[in-house]
Amino acid sequence: MEWKQYRGSLIGGLVVISLFAILIYNNVDWRACLEPEAEGFVLSCVAENTSAWYARYGVVMRQATVSGLLIGGVYGLVALGLTMIFGVLEIINFAHGALMTVGLYITFILFDTFGIDPYLGLFITVPLLFFIGLIVYRVVIHPARDAPHHNQLLLTLGLTLLIENLLLMVFTATPRAIRLDYGRGETNILGLFVMQFPIRIWRAVITFDKLLAFLGALVVTAILYTIIQKTDLGKAIRATAQERDGAALVGINTDWINMITFGIGTACVGAAAALVLPFRPADPTAGNLFNITAFIIVVLGGMGNAIGALLGGLIIGLTQELTGIFFPGSPDLIGVFVIFILVLLFRPQGLLGQAA
């Protein structure tokens, strides 16, 4: 494993740290300490001021940190799907987020119409999205395998418009939320023990559904990582990603691998969808946010790199929540885009670089 693979994450990490720094700098009253009549040493004055600020606003920062990390896990999972597809097919699948939206609506229907719990529904959503992925690959992606890159981008863009607006026509723009009847107050965990939700760690609030989303994303990522690293299928996928012609030469059906990879990548967003629906209502464009963040994470974390995807996910989650403090109100992606452009500029070769 080369450190170069993690250069993007490093840049991202630096941005996060500077966000923290700016946050503290902007809120602590330094200048008062430089006034002649300031009491005591400058340093102790600053320390005092800082701790006073921290006592007042620290909780906001800690909450942002915790929320950022939690949602970051899910971002990482979505990005893992995207990075696999990119690694093997060299296609930037712009429809990744739209497919996640499909997953959200499937989870919603399962819950709303059939009363199936979303977490239990994972066992339906994930295979279903896998098959949708296979079909999408066959019908839309495969015929344009040899088209120029930007045309493939365009293709998945067209697919996005198709999916989004189909959903808009069928379900309208009204957000569809579900409400779990557990996970607040005393909650029995699989009959093993009882926990109080929301949890408070470090005085930050962690709700049941977000915690579960985070843990679920980690579990799915781990499973996928094992599949990629340990199984024959995983080896074939990695071989195809690294050296398509060579893989074909040793008898790997690369076309088949393409299709399976697209299916697995799509299954990832199926899992992510089921995990986030309890706190992120479905609407026809709900997947967009995950789509954009996934791109950036893929750029950050390196191609086909599961650990990079997770790391990138956490960084992007943090960045997003922290910039949320700077620009309160709308879910703000400015910081995320800044990272994106920085990384694009400073390690474009890493984008095209080694897979798996």
Q: How far is the CB of 90 from other proteins (least distance, A)?
A: 9
Beta-carbon neighbour count of residue 223 at 10 Å?
11
Q: Which residues inside 128-167 make contact with other proteins, applying CB under 8 A? A: 140, 143-144, 147-155, 157-166
Q: Which is nearer to other proteins, 105 or 340 (CB)?
A: 340
Kindly write down the DSSP assignment for every residue of 49-65, as one continuous string. Answer: HHHHHHHHHHHHHHHHH
Separation in Å, CA 133 to CA 44, 59, 142, 153, 218: 60, 42, 12, 17, 22
Kindly write down the DSSP assignment for every residue of 125-182, as one continuous string. Answer: HHHHHHHHHHHHIIIIIGGGTTS-HHHHHHHHHHHHHHHHHHHHHHH-S--B----SS
Would you give the DSSP letter of residue 353? S
Q: Which is nearer to other proteins, 140 or 307 (CB)?
A: 140
**SS3 of 195, please?**
strand
Residue 246 β-bridge partners: none
- Convert residues 273-302 into a mask of x (bound to other proteins by CB under 8 A) and - (unbound): -----------x-------x--x---x---
Distance CA 317, CA 293 (A): 9
First to last CA, the chain: 10
Q: How far is the CB of 321 from other proteins (least distance, A)?
A: 16
- Which stretch in 22-30, 102-110, 168-176, 260-268 sits in contact with other proteins by CB under 8 A? 168-176
Q: How far is the CB of 77 from other proteins (least distance, A)?
A: 21
- Convert residues 309-328 into a mask of x (bound to other proteins by CB under 8 A) and - (unbound): ------------------x-
Q: How far is the CB of 324 from other proteins (least distance, A)?
A: 12
Binder of other proteins out of 1, 55, 173, 192 (CB under 8 A): 173
Q: Which residues inside 47-106 make contact with other proteins, applying CB under 8 A? A: 92
Distance CA 187, CA 190 (A): 9
Q: How far is the CB of 226 from other proteins (least distance, A)?
A: 30
Query: Residue numbers of the site for other proteins (CB under 8 A)?
Result: 92, 140, 143-144, 147-155, 157-166, 168-169, 172-173, 284, 292, 295, 299, 327, 330, 332-334, 337-338, 340-341, 344-346, 348-349, 351
